[in-house]
Amino acid sequence: MLKAMLEFGVRRKLLTTNPAKGVVLYKIESRERFLLDREVIALADALAVMEEERAISGTMGDAIRLLLLTGARKQEIAARLARQPHPQP
pLDDT > 90? residue 16: yes
pLDDT digits (tens, 9 = 90+) for 72-84: 888 888 787 777 7
Mean pLDDT on 49-75: 90
The answer as to whether 43 is a domain residue is yes
Give dist(CA 5, CA 23) in Å, integer.
14
pLDDT at 38: 96
Assess whether pLDDT exceeds 70 at residue 89: no
Q: Is residue 63 part of a domain?
A: yes
Q: Could you list the residue range(s) of the whole structural domain that residue 68 is in?
A: 35-89
Q: Is 52 among the domain residues?
A: yes
DSSP 24-63: PPPP---------HHHHHHHHHHHHHHHHTTSS-HHHHHH
The total number of structural domains that make up the chain: 1
Residue 86: pLDDT band with limits 50, 70, 90: low
